[in-house]
Structure 1
Amino acid sequence: MTTFIPARRHAELGPDFFDPVRPADFPQTVLRHRDQRWAERIGLGELSEAEWLNHFGRFAPLPGSLPQPLALRYHGHQFRSYNSDLGDGRGFLFAQCVDPIDGRLLDFGTKGTGKTPWSRGGDGRLTLKGGVREVLATEMLEALGVYTSKSFSLVETGEALYRGDEPSPTRSAVLTRLSHSHIRIGTFQRLAYLEDTENLRRLVDYSIANYYPHLAGASDPAAALLEAVVQKVANLGAQWIAAGFVHGVLNTDNINITGESFDYGPWRFLPAYDPDFTAAYFDETGLYSFGRQPDTLAWNLTRLAECLVPLSSIDTLEPALNTVWPTFRTALPLAMLARLGLEPRSEDDNNAFVTALFGFLTASKAPYEQFFFDWRGGALSAQRAAQSPSTEFYASDAFRPVANALEAFAPTENVNLAHPYFARSNPRTMLIDDVEAIWAPIAENDDWSLFHQTLREIGEMREAYGVKI
């Protein structure tokens, strides 16, 4: 049996970084989702449902971890406009623990736990639909190989909420996410804005000690940390593109320093390749569209670099920042090939394949996820692809460069084409119509069967793709 290893390291940063808060007292707690895989990994798998709800519905402290939740302080650029009135407005850092498998620090962060000093007039609550959407996003992204937070727990809380973007009143929930850090670019921005160099240095040291311990002893800790974060975030951008995912709200307070995708609002998956595809109805200029996500991440990382100037120098930070595009250009073909279960070749071959693939996807508008499903293993799946609903796309002249390129790539050891998942005609998708179809029976009849069936299908997909937790 795995033993839970509590931690309370964020408290060591001191009171300038957070505000102790109390969770809302909800009318009811009904468990709707529990990530049993991760619960077992970190030593909480044997909690009874009553114990689970006590900790993740009522937020009784986990033994040995934080005695009281902490609403974290940060600033951020929201759609490129600086906001110095941010912070955890409807969530908090509930607890921390150490992963007994890899020794890394993990945070339990919440969404929908009530008002904090940073609520700015909001009610601090989360709609049940918003919670369901976050569970679906994280489960799907994990199965597609994206480094993402985990939706550890979703509890319905029995309040009627009024929201302009949902039929109201609507049901309420509280979500607990598990991730490796809730320190954001915006955390650094707040200290730079306040010209608090002492705490900025403390934050750099804390970040290295807890998230990048291999950087201990670096001659320029700030520059070393920046380069490490750039590598992680650039890799995340490549993973999003390979998954056909649009986050939707890439503000600097939504980018954390471990390069972990988190905080899902108006996210979408692409039906077909379209660089201008946006997720948020309020993103009127397409600032955070699918194709602009790598640029946005680079812009956000530049804001982090600016914060670190008082601890380093532009001459040292600039080269670290400039690794973002070489990292992304290398990572994108590798992420695409990993999705296809193909071994990389030379950098030129990898890049040529991706160029050919995007040319085909642009010209044909073939279903994005269907392509990766059909051509898992490359040429090994030629017969499968010939039976696909997308077979007409693969018979076109536009596909010939892709077909020729696929011939050159060998399958990986974990291509796993014998898995039952690859006997399907269509992959499991999570397009907006899929999400609405899952939500409709919940809203109309409190019928969760399709939600649970979908999570089982995603679990099968994760297994087929060989994704390890």
Structure 2
Amino acid sequence: MPVSPAYRPDPRFFDLGPDYSDAVKAADFPQTILRFRNDRAAAEVGLETLSDAEWIATFGRFDPLPGQPGPVAMRYHGHQFRHYNPDLGDGRGFLAAQMRETPRAQAASDRVASDSAQGRLLDLGTKGSGRTPWSRDGDGRLTLKGGVREVLAAAMLEAQGVPTSRALSLIETGEALERGDEPSPTRSAVLVRLSHSHVRFGTFQRAAYINRPDQIETLIEHVRSLYHPEVAPGDVPGLMQAITAASARLTARWIAAGFVHGVLNTDNLNVTGESFDYGPWRFLPAYQPGFTAAYFDHGGLYAFARQPEAVFWNLTQLASCLAVVSEPKLLADALNGFGPAYIRELRAAFLMRLGVHSLGEAADQRLVDTTLALLREGGEAMRWEPLFFDWFGGFASSARALSGPRAKLYQGEAFDAFRFALMEHEPDRIERLEHPMFAAREPEEMLIDKVETIWTAIAADDDWSPLNAKLARLEAARRAWGFDK
């Protein structure tokens, strides 16, 4: 396999053995049609040199990569809408490989990874790769529409500066699937994502459920040493604090992006605070605190404004597992740091999205408050994403915003308060406004009607050009915003 010299396999989760996962094989698909390959993400792990045929062999038939022991279905439990389910685990996916981020990828980013000396440990995880011991009554498959939606969600979130897995590969697999929530039969696919850990809160929950404190201790050291090495060995509250802080950062970035994950179960949050596994996600059209993404979230448990509450509740479940081997009071102290950390991260996320420097806690909070007030007062006409686009760079964008398509919205007391708070802040990297994207009248959005339009072109005419065009624009937006992960 002609991988790049920068490829560095490091299959560390596999070393934990059969208590934590089961060896599996991928399904034998009748077709393997390459629909999407993310060469920029592949270059981060030394896989961009694969030809299309080699790519399909690796990510459609799952021929093993050098130095990788073969795929495993990870074992975990979880609370689903706060009901405990001990019958979970990788039911239609597996961990295919682990490798280190390349030195070039590490140097190209200003993000500070906790394991930056070696490069971050990254996973190749699948979705739709076939049945496993944890499939229950499922077929282990992924609809092509579901794969397309995950590609789009990950690309949009990355462009907005949200810590997220990246969709690495999407291959259509030539099966007709029956589903109750979309017209059937529908086309099938297998997705591969590049992610910074698939160790979930639910991984710890399983060890606690089966009364194996030794497994909890093994997982603690595995996670500490690989993802939070700044925490001293044996410092379980310190690890809880690190995971809490990472989760607070992720949640704040979701809110600033106007993103609703949809299914914030404990098996959908991981120990690095990186968003992954996009099912019934949505982006807000306008400020709606009660906006839900999942049609089955009848009570609004995971609504937009309840996401911080949901993440905190999930962190309490993780803390209860760690309490088996650590002091509960110290864990509670670490857990209670979520609220203050979330508020700090929310201020930072709003400043990042508005492209301005911090002026201090009071002024930064005033900007967050007035931004939300303007969005609330503006109603449906004041769309979420365009506000951040129009006013990116603060005062430097006044002429652009006030002569643009939403100029009539920018008036009144709520707007005056917002503008005053914004103009207090100096632009951050003002040269970003020179990017051609800011000459456009409209920003890149990811509202559900546009997603459905992209899918309709594929479903009706096998026309992939709208998807490819959208991804190209999102890549341009990522460069224009200049957000790190």
TM-score norm. by structure 2 comes to 0.95
Q: Of 154, 162, 165, which aligns to 1:149?
A: 165
Q: Distance in 2 between matches of 1:99 and 1:428?
A: 29
Q: Distance in 2 between matches of 1:467 and 1:241?
A: 16
Q: Find the partner of 1:77 among 72, 76, 79.
A: 79
Q: Which runs of 5+ in 2 are unaligned?
A: 107-118
Contact 1:378 1:407 (8 Å CA) reproduced: yes
Give the aligned residue type for 2:77.
H
Per the alignment, residue 96 of structure 2 pairs with 94
Runs of 4+ in 1 over 4 A off after TM superposition: none
2:36 aligned to 16, 33, 36, which one? 33
Deviations 1:226-281 (A, max 9, x none): 10000000000000000000000000000000000000000000000111000011
Following superposition, the deviation at residue 414 of structure 1 comes to 5.2
Partner of 1:59: 62
* CA distance, structure 1, for counterparts of residue 358 and residue 224 of structure 2: 31
Query: Following TM superposition, by how much is the alpha carbon of 1:2 offset from its aligned partner in structure 2, in angstroms?
Result: 5.0
Cα distance between partner residues in 1 of 2:430 and 2:15: 42
Q: Give yes or no for the alignment of 1:368 onto 2:384.
A: yes
CA drift of 1:415 comes to: 5.2
- In 1, distance between residues paired with 2:139 and 2:377? 46
Matched, 1:312 2:326: yes
Aligned position for 1:42: 45
- For residues 259-298 of structure 1, the aligned pairs below 5 Å read 259-298=273-312
Q: Hey, what's the Cα distance between the residues in 1 that align with 2:342 and 2:302?
A: 17
Alignment partners' CA distance in 1, 2:13 and 2:232: 18
CA positional deviation for 1:221: 2.3
Q: 1:305 to 1:260 in 2, by over 3 A?
A: same
State the AA in 2 paired with 1:241: I
Task: State the shift of 1:399 in Å.
Answer: 0.8
The counterpart of 1:328, out of the listed 337, 342, 345, is 342
Equivalent-residue separation in structure 2 for 1:276 and 1:23 (angstroms): 40
Residue 6 (structure 2) pairs with residue 3 (structure 1):
yes
- Return the TM-score normalized by structure 1: 0.98
Between the aligned partners of 1:13 and 1:357, the Cα distance in structure 2 is: 47
Structure 1 residues 90, 405: closer, same or farther in 2, change over 3 A?
A: same
Q: Give the superposed CA RMSD.
A: 1.0
Give the letter for the 1:76 counterpart.
G
- CA shift, 1:434, in A, is 1.0
Distance 1:61 1:222 in 2: 35
The answer to whether the 8 Å contact 1:87/1:118 transfers is yes
1:197-224, Cα deviation, whole Å (9 max, x unpaired): 011100000001111112133xx42211
Post-superposition CA distance 1:362-393 (Å, at most 9, x none) = 11121000000000011111111112222121
1:468 shift after superposition? 4.6
1:348 lines up with 2:350 in the alignment: no
Paired residues for 1:190-201 under 5 Å: 190-201=206-217
Q: Which residue number in structure 2 is paired with residue 232 of structure 1?
A: 246
Q: Does 1:394 align with 2:413?
A: no
CA apart distance, 1:413:
1.8
Q: Distance in 2 between matches of 1:413 and 1:448?
A: 35
SS at match of 2:443: coil
In the alignment, structure 1 segments of 5+ residues that lack a partner are: none
Structure 1 residues 415 and 232: alpha-carbon distance in aligned structure 2, compared to 1, 3 A threshold: farther
Instruction: State the distance in 2 between where 1:384 and 1:433 align.
Output: 27
What number of residue pairs does the alignment pair up? 466
Instruction: Find the counterpart in structure 2 of residue 427 from structure 1.
Output: 443
Instruction: Give the Cα separation in 2 of the matches to 1:414 and 1:386.
Output: 18
Opposite residue 316 of structure 1, the aligned amino acid is L
Equivalent residue letter for 1:213 = P
Corresponding residue for residue 25 of structure 2: 22
Contact 1:191–1:199, Cα closer than 8 Å, also in 2: yes
User: What are the Cα deviations for residues 184-204 of structure 1, in whole angstroms up to 9, with x where unaligned?
Assistant: 000000111111001110000
Give the Cα–Cα distance (whole angstroms) in 2 for the partners of residues 282 and 308 of structure 1: 31
Cα shift readout 1:89-130 (whole Å, capped 9, x = no counterpart)? 000000110112241111100000011010011000000000
